[in-house]
Amino acid sequence: MPETSGPTGRTPETHVIDFRAAEQLLAARDPRGAVKLLDPVIAAHPENTAARLLRARAFFAAAQLRPAELEFTMVLEREPDNAFAHFALARTYERQLRPEQAKRHFRLAAALDPKPQYLEAARFDS
């Protein structure tokens, strides 16, 4: 009998398939569908930062800003040098009208990875 990762009978291979399908759903502009696929993946593998980052992006795309903020924060607790997570958290704060927190994370993103979009958002000249 194949090894399962929990009471749902889902295998690690199934979680990989669900993760990839969630990526496709997010690309197809179905963030809520992506979240539904990612929930059991994260329940089985809470330490998986790739799944958490994808779920955070899906929450953001669905305008579920508080869950997005929490997920991006969890990713940054595990990967404090993740420039994209800082940038995305900053965008989340920006949409929540929290400009000081947004500015801090925009600047961290730009310091970690000087991509033009990160540098522009960081507004170091202001």
Query: For residue 80, what pLDDT band results from cuts at 50, 70 and 90?
Result: very high
pLDDT tens digits along 112-126: 999 999 999 998 876
One-character DSSP codes across 14-40: HHHHHHHHHHHHHHTT-HHHHHHHHHH
Least confident of 7-11, 34-38, 61-65: 7-11
pTM of the model: 0.88
Distance CA 74, CA 68 (A): 10
